[in-house]
Structure 1
Amino acid sequence: MADDSGYLLDNQQTEAGTRFGALAALFDPSTFRHIDALGIAGGWRCWEVGAGGPSVPSWLAARVGTAGHVVATDIDVSWMTAAADAGYEVRRHDVGVEPPPGDGFDLVHARLVLVHVPQRAAALATMISALRPGGWLLVEEADPMMQPLVCPDESGPAQRLANKLKRDFRTLMAQRGVDLSYGRTLPRLLRGAGLVDVEADAFFPITGAACTLLEQATVAQIRDRLVAAGLATNEEVDRHLGNVAAGLLDLATSPMISAWGRKPA
């Protein structure tokens, strides 16, 4: 029987690598655009929180160069390159309960992390405490309740089934304490924590190859829990995955809300 506690999409499952690749393809360009706009430069010290895979810390390391330093942390670091030539430091770290891996960071970034952390308020405070005066925090979180459909164009039974399974997935997440409306609260939370120059925007793809890969990997990871919870049947999951493989669906993601603010100098 599937374990009904903990993170639904843990890094130990074989589909995690596919999910990391799809998320990188979908959201790295937006993340990198935001970080470039914050003025990242050679010599910056950066903390990538809950990195998961190597794409963001590798990009950061290339931007800050040998004069800078990048620390990439996660509860499970098995998908990150730890070789010396990777250009960044890898540490196992739980941002919800542990102190930051240093301080004086010019940039602290987290994407799709805080909604899954039970102690998310403490985690946000930890991230802000690690900033130097004038340093930037960039937090990016999905808001599934803002746009809850995986198929916004619900044109037939295949699309209705896809959206039904997405509702089932949200039910599982809510049962595990995920705040499905957390993304929209980020500007208020950053201002409340004393950051200045706070701004935010949102982005979500509506269809594409990476959306398809993400849906396939995600559904494969959660199918046992969906069935065990009585939310879906194996037949429904198989039918949906067949529809995805046949290219019948325009699959969207939840909006990714990016919020950034600066620690007062």
Structure 2
Amino acid sequence: MTQTRTHGYLFDPRQTEAGRPYDATAALFDASTFRHFERIGVGPGWRCWEVGAGGTSVLAWLAKRVGPTGRVVGTDLDIARASAAARPPVEVRCHDVSAQEPPGEGFDLVHARLVLSHVTDRDRALRSMVRALRPGGRLLVEDADIALQPLGCPEEQGPAQQLANHVRQGLRALLAERGADTAYGRRLPRLLREAGLAQVEAEAYFPLTSPAAVALETATVQEARDRLVDRALVTGADVDRYLAQLVSGTLDLATAPLISAWGRKAA
């Protein structure tokens, strides 16, 4: 099946080092995501749908928790990395959540992280995820709110931090041009309530400094370099200088807040 990748993403997962953003994202956010799974009560026998399963860490955690009597369906537009690591009870499918019907119904848990703000039809994707839940099932959606905290270095101490914030501004402009909703995270609690979910809660999480944040920023800037320069958002010299500063380890680099919102489908 041929698929057209939704245009909000900066990364092309087919590139040689496509695993780097997945690994950095896992290092940054897995602990927070797994804490929410534990709070929700994911356990043996659960049926789970992981939306945007380009990486493997969340699938592996869910598989261990649901055990041999459970089921974990992972979907994404590019499934090469996830498929290579998939073992029962994990099943991986090529799927566009914003354009296709859900891969089944009756799920106890549906989860998406850093997906919906980038897809073409966010409203349809969210409706599809809610529809796939069993009565009483749980939805957990986690997405960044780049507009809420747009700075690479919140403490703009000097030229190095100013450059980091300038490059981050260029990246934000690129995302907006490609159709991403850079303020999507803050809308999640309302959207989940409007979708009919009950017991909606949400919280925000973002590291202020972390080696994984530096790794993700480095991969992002390297991937977006030509587009940043072509669109005259950042000069090539500035990109090279910024990458050198990232390697030096002297920047306290922050991520955008990850907003996690969850709710229960009416029984």
Give the TM interval when normalised to the shorter protein. over 0.9
For the pair 1:146 / 2:132, whether they are aligned, the reply is: no
Give the Cα separation in 2 of the matches to 1:46 and 1:229. 41
Contact 1:198 1:262 in 2 (8 A): yes
Gaps of 5+ in 2: 1-6
Q: Deviation per CA, 1:145-171, whole angstroms, max 9, x where unpaired?
A: 111101111101011001000000111
Of 127, 148, 171 in structure 2, the residue corresponding to residue 169 of structure 1 is 171
Give the share of equivalent positions with the same residue, in percent.
Answer: 60
Q: Deviation per CA, 1:222-245, whole angstroms, max 9, x where unpaired?
A: 001101111111111000000111
Question: What SS class does the counterpart of residue 138 from structure 2 fall into?
Answer: strand
For the pair 1:117 / 2:133, whether they are aligned, the reply is: no
For the pair 1:29 / 2:31, whether they are aligned, the reply is: yes
Give the equivalent residue in structure 2 for 1:180. Answer: 182
Give the Cα separation in 2 of the matches to 1:84 and 1:254. 30
What letter corresponds to residue 108 of structure 1 in structure 2? V
What are the within-5 Å matches in structure 2 for residues 32-43 of structure 1? 32-43=34-45
Give the equivalent residue in structure 2 for 1:250. Answer: 252
Question: What SS class does the counterpart of residue 161 from structure 2 fall into?
Answer: helix
What are the within-5 Å matches in structure 2 for residues 219-230 of structure 1? 219-230=221-232
Give the drift of 1:38.
0.4
Give the drift of 1:87.
3.7
Q: Return the TM-score normalized by structure 2.
A: 0.95
Give the equivalent residue in structure 1 for 2:137. Answer: 135
Question: What SS class does the counterpart of residue 172 from structure 1 fall into?
Answer: helix
Contact 2:8 2:120 in 1 (8 A): no
Give the Cα separation in 1 of the matches to 2:86 and 2:146. 38
Contact 1:58 1:87 in 2 (8 A): no
Give the equivalent residue in structure 2 for 1:67. Answer: 69
Give the drift of 1:248.
1.8
Give the Cα separation in 1 of the matches to 2:78 and 2:121. 17
Give the Cα separation in 1 of the matches to 2:86 and 2:189. 37
Count of residues in correspondence between the two structures: 261
Question: What SS class does the counterpart of residue 71 from structure 1 fall into?
Answer: strand
Give the Cα separation in 2 of the matches to 1:155 and 1:87. 50
Contact 2:8 2:119 in 1 (8 A): no
Give the Cα separation in 1 of the matches to 2:221 and 2:17. 10
Give the Cα separation in 1 of the matches to 2:151 and 2:85. 40
Shift in CA distance, 152/100, structure 1 to aligned 2, threshold 3 Å: same
Give the Cα separation in 2 of the matches to 1:161 and 1:155. 11
Give the drift of 1:90.
0.5
What are the within-5 Å matches in structure 2 for residues 89-128 of structure 1? 89-128=91-130
Contact 2:86 2:92 in 1 (8 A): no
Give the equivalent residue in structure 1 for 2:4. Answer: none
Give the equivalent residue in structure 1 for 2:191. Answer: 189
What letter corresponds to residue 238 of structure 2 in structure 1? E
Give the Cα separation in 2 of the matches to 1:23 and 1:83. 18
Give the equivalent residue in structure 2 for 1:208. Answer: 210
Give the Cα separation in 2 of the matches to 1:206 and 1:103. 39
Contact 2:56 2:85 in 1 (8 A): no
Question: What SS class does the counterpart of residue 235 from structure 1 fall into?
Answer: helix
Q: Deviation per CA, 1:110-161, whole angstroms, max 9, x where unpaired?
A: 0000011010000000000000000000000000011110111110101100
Give the drift of 1:176.
1.3
Question: What SS class does the counterpart of residue 159 from structure 1 fall into?
Answer: helix
Q: Return the TM-score normalized by structure 1.
A: 0.96
Give the drift of 1:82.
3.8
Give the equivalent residue in structure 2 for 1:218. Answer: 220
